[in-house]
Amino acid sequence: MAHLIALPPPSPSAKDLLALLHERIVLFDGAMGTSIQDRQPSVAEFGGPEYEGCNEYLVLTAPQVISDIHEGFLQAGSDIIETDTFGGTRIVLAEYGLQERTIEINRAAVQVAKAAAVRYSTPAKPRFVAGSMGPTTKTISVTGGVTFEQMRAAYSEQAEGLLLGGVDLLVLETAQDTLNLKAGLIGITEAFQKVGVSVPVVVSGTIETMGTMLDGQEV
């Protein structure tokens, strides 16, 4: 028998976003990863050669680089900007020895994005921040090397950091495995209960040319 889970109340900004969605279509920003590549951050901006390529670390080592990207999308008219946290789980950050800074990185990423969103918000056009939660570098069904519980815990920790930063919604994006998604949704629910607030959750999947996700699962 299924058990219903009582979620904490939505944050005030989440309520504002849900109200806006009843009025009009809202626009997301563009891709953070390629935007960072276009700016070609230096090794020093990454915090040293051992962190080169860890885009998420830039929110601590070179936050102005990320802020400038956010501002570009806001100037173009985006209603929602996504945090620089696509690889913000400890599963990915561990590849750079940064797993113990997971909460700090995700929280800081929201704060960088929030500061930009506030600067561009007006009563007629409020701006919002979405917490980006990518598929990690492992999938339970395809690559292995990770358990369901490890994936659930990793997503829960990332969601906690994003919520503590004051994110307006969460995006489980570029999904390639429905088991990863299930672990992510359970982890997010746990984070809601731990932090004591809930926000809307968006799920987006990657569909291959054959019409299925990477591991052959259909929509």
**What would the pLDDT profile of 121-151 be if each residue is shown by its tens digit?**
999 999 999 999 999 999 898 888 999 999 9
DSSP state of 50: G
pLDDT at 216: 80
Please give the full DSSP string across 94-118, using - where no structure is assigned.
GGGT-GGGHHHHHHHHHHHHHHHHH
Residue 173, pLDDT above cutoff 60: yes
Tokens representing 156?
């829960």
Q: Residue 2: which pLDDT band, with cuts at 50, 70 and 90?
A: low
In 10 A of CB 37, how many CB atoms?
Answer: 11
pLDDT at 4: 66
**pTM given for the model:** 0.94
Residue 213, pLDDT above cutoff 90: no
Domains and CATH numbers, the chain: 26-205 (3.20.20.330)
Could you tell me which residue, 115 or 214, shows the higher pLDDT? 115
- Report d(CA 82, CA 132) in Å as an integer: 6
The predicted-structure confidence for 25-34, as pLDDT tens digits, reads as follows 999 999 999 9
